[in-house]
């Protein structure tokens, strides 16, 4: 490879070598054959998202019956702790008697839960009517809130959302508004209505006096999920990177700290330039706490920044199967992976005037023909300014004449300087000999 002598490129290479490009690639923590530990994964969550994530894993594991049944078993046990009979029926149907008599269709449990639900609903209705009659705002707010909790527990998200939102008219403090917004956000995430999520995040942020660090962390997580769903990956990365360590396990009904590291790290890799990656991710002390929970993400980010692309892509390859089992990330894995790979290819070629495709293919652990096709696509999309010598398998950057352009700029600057100096000397001589004055006197 021929080094470009442009200053910025030289600085970039110095930075790469300073970060230890000559070190051996890190050994991947997750081997390509290791599957997701469903029990450990599920332990990160609570409430309904724990059930939905387990059922999602079961849906995606048709080729792995043991993992599928493990996820269904855990989901079945978790559902039985709640009151959603419809979800219980669906889980029992999916199990289809494959886990023995203890994990079948329990009609007596369904009847008991539905009977209690009718009694509970009637009681809540009577209490709310009494509160309305007495016009006690706080009691009415609590009544609607209880109804929201009831509907949410039974999987009736539309009714739960309406009940939570109705509490807004009876909120008497900023804390009440925050509670209403968080409840609305939780239900909206379950429904997949991320426009509502964004709306109620904005409403919550309009009462900054009631926002404590934990609540702020929750709102940023929810905003990150909303941007991720909308495929606004850079905005999603920024929100996840802003999440404070106060989050801990306080939002396990929606997201785990490990997810903050994974979602934010991948979105940042796909969209941030080198400076942003260094300043906002690698040097971000708060975010480092999250990255420590997922060492694979931490290592692949460091490998990418240090130009150890083969190691970085190895990590991504090993993580892919498990990321496809994530309820929020699965739809975005292919896009993010493609963007990260393209960025790696662009970053690799940037400092050089010419690149040997054989060496580059070896660095990316791919074939020369496959690499050439990828580079052709990037050149066509103007993401790389270069041309390919197909016969000699060399990539030539279009800025190969930068030295000549620099000389031309220097010559032009010298010519302009010479002209300006001559003009100043001429003016000085005119003033010295009082040329203008003698001409005036002559007239």
What angle do helix axes 309-323 and 333-349 make, rounded to 10 degrees? Answer: 180
Work out the end-to-end distance of the chain between its first and last CA atoms, rounded to an integer number of angstroms. Answer: 72
Q: What is the pTM of this model?
A: 0.78
Residue 36 lies in a domain: no
Radius of gyration of the chain (CA): 31
Q: Is 154 helix (H, G, I), strand (E, B) or coil?
A: coil
Is 237 inside a domain boundary?
Answer: no
Task: Please tell me the total number of residues recorded for the chain in this structure.
Answer: 443
pLDDT, residue 353, reads 81
Query: What's the pLDDT score for residue 238?
Result: 95
Report pLDDT for 228. 95
- Which range marks the domain in which residue 438 is found? 368-442
**pLDDT given at position 204:** 93
Say which DSSP state 66 is in. H
In tens, the pLDDT along 224-280 reads 999 999 999 999 999 999 999 999 999 999 999 999 999 999 999 999 988 899 999
Q: Is residue 383 part of a domain?
A: yes
Residue 151 to residue 163: CA distance in whole angstroms: 9
SS3 content of the chain, % helix, strand, coil (to 5): 70, 5, 25
- The answer to whether residue 213 sits within a structural domain is no
Q: What is the pLDDT of residue 147?
A: 93
- Residue 153 has what pLDDT? 93
25 DSSP assignment: P
- The dihedral through the CA atoms of 10, 16, 18, 22 has a sign that is negative
Token pair for residue 149?
């909790």
Beta carbons within 10 angstroms of residue 146's beta carbon: 17
Mean pLDDT for each 10-residue chunk of the chain (443 residues)?
Answer: 41 38 36 70 93 94 88 93 92 90 90 94 91 86 93 94 93 92 95 94 91 94 96 95 92 94 95 91 91 92 89 89 93 93 85 82 82 84 80 74 72 90 88 65 47
Residue 422 included in any domain: yes
The total number of structural domains in the chain stands at: 1
Give the integer Cα–Cα distance in Å for 135 and 9.
Answer: 71
Question: pLDDT value at position 201?
Answer: 95
Query: Is residue 42 in a domain?
Result: no
Decide: 248 and 275 in contact? Cβ < 8 Å. no
| Backbone torsions φ then ψ of 386, nearest 5 degrees | -160, 175
């Amino acid at each position: 490879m021929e080094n470009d002598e442009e200053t910025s490129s030289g600085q970039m290479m110095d930075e790469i070598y300073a970060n230890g490009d000559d070190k051996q690639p890190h050994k991947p923590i997750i081997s390509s054959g290791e599957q997701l530990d469903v029990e450990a994964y599920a332990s990160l969550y609570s409430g309904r998202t724990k059930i939905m994530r387990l059922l999602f894993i079961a849906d995606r594991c048709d080729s792995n019956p043991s993992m599928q049944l493990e996820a269904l078993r855990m989901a079945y046990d978790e559902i039985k702790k709640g009151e959603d009979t419809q979800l219980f029926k669906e889980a029992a149907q999916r199990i289809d008697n494959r886990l023995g008599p203890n994990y079948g269709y329990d009609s007596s449990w369904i009847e008991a839960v539905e009977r209690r639900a009718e009694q509970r609903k009637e009681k809540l209705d009577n209490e709310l009517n009494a509160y309305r009659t007495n016009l006690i705002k706080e009691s009415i707010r609590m009544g609607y809130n209880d109804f929201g909790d009831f509907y949410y527990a039974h999987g009736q998200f539309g009714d739960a959302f309406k009940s939570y939102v109705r509490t807004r008219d009876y909120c008497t403090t900023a804390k009440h508004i925050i509670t209403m917004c968080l409840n609305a956000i939780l239900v909206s995430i379950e429904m997949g209505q991320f426009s509502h999520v964004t709306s109620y995040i904005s409403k919550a942020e309009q009462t900054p006096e009631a926002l404590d660090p934990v609540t702020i962390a929750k709102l940023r997580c929810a905003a990150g999920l909303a941007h991720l769903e909308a495929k606004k990956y850079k905005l999603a990365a920024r929100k996840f990177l802003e999440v404070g360590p106060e989050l801990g396990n306080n939002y396990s009904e929606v997201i785990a700290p490990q997810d903050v590291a994974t979602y934010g790290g991948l979105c940042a890799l796909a969209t941030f330039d080198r400076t942003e990656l260094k300043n906002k991710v690698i040097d971000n002390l708060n975010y480092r706490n999250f990255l420590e929970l997922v060492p694979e993400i931490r290592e692949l980010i460091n490998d990418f920044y240090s130009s150890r692309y083969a190691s970085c892509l190895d990590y991504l390859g090993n993580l892919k199967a498990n990321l496809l089992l994530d309820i929020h990330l699965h739809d975005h894995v292919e896009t993010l992976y493609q963007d990260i790979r393209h960025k790696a290819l662009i970053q690799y070629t940037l400092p050089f005037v010419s690149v040997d495709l054989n060496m580059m293919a070896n660095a990316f652990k791919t074939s020369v023909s496959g690499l050439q096709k990828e580079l052709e696509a990037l050149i066509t999309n103007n993401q790389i300014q270069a041309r390919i010598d197909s016969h000699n398998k060399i990539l030539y950057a279009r800025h190969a004449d930068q030295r000549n352009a620099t000389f031309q700029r220097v010559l032009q600057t010298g010519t302009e300087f010479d002209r300006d100096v001559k003009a100043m000397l001429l003016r000085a001589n005119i003033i010295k000999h009082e040329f203008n004055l003698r001409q005036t006197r002559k007239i």
